[in-house]
Amino acid sequence: MFFGGINYSWISTLIKCPKIVNSESYQKKVISRCRVFTDMDKEFGKWNWILMQDGAPAHTSRSTKEYLSKKCSVLENWPPNSPDLNPIENLWGIMGKRISLEAPKTEKKLEAIVRRVWKNIEWGVIENLVSSMEKRLRLVVEHKGESINGHFLKIFHFKKEGQFFFANFKFFFLYSFK
């Protein structure tokens, strides 16, 4: 499992997660090793971006919430039926297809391929996913919080001021309306 992030003009390093992730390992071995807080504060200003994570226990524990409360704003109450709302899920799917074409046989080879695929993701792919965020939010409202899978062909580019930072366990996603 990996932790990484994207934005229109920024891509993080990829952090390999420990095999077992609990609140402590998530805070000490994942989040603290990632430059996301420094980079996002520099890019958007301290407290001018919002972290969104999925509902994994390591993300929602009291200690993780306390840890994060000192670093950034955290979005809570994400629609439970809409993990597909987060564009990074689509990026992970794209990467998964590319990785599977190479059929890695060892964990070491898999890690090398994941890192190479991550590094070589085309900016156009990232921009399309990022640009679709406003439409994704509208679709969730239209579908009363239900899954929006199958509706992505309707998604077009939208740009607006503001910034959000979305995260899930495999990757995090920074969305900046610009």
Please report the DSSP string for the chain in residue order: -EE--EETTEEPPPEEPPSS--HHHIIIIIGGGS-HHHHHHHHH-TT-SEEE----HHHHSHHHHHHHHTT-EEE----TT-GGGSHHHHHHHHHHHHHHHT---SHHHHHHHHHHHHHT--HHHHHHHHHTHHHHHHHHHHTTTS--TT-GGG------SEEEEEE-SS-EEEEEE-
Kindly report, residue by residue over 24-80, the tens digit of the pLDDT.
999 998 888 877 788 888 888 888 877 777 778 898 899 999 999 998 888 777 666
Average pLDDT on 144-173 reads 47
* Residue 57, domain extent: 2-177
Residue 164 is predicted with a pLDDT of 43
92 pLDDT more than 60? yes
With 60 as the cut, is the pLDDT of residue 118 above it?
yes
pLDDT of residue 73: 84
- CA-based R_g, the chain, Å: 16
CA 114 to chain CA centroid, nearest Å: 16
CB 34 within 8 A of CB 10: no
- The yes-or-no verdict on residue 10 having pLDDT over 80 is no
pLDDT, residue 27, reads 92
The total domain count for the chain is 1
Domain CATH for 44: 3.30.420.10
Name residues whose C-beta falls within 8 Å of residue 47's C-beta, 6 or more positions apart in sequence.
Answer: 72, 73
Query: What is the model's pLDDT at position 166?
Result: 43
Threshold 0.75, pTM exceeds: no
Which of 10-14, 125-129, 148-152 has the least mean pLDDT? 148-152
Tell me the backbone φ, ψ of residue 8, rounded to 5 degrees.
Answer: -55, -40
What mean pLDDT value characterizes the chain?
77
Q: What is the pLDDT of residues 24-40, one digit of tens each?
A: 999 998 888 877 788 88
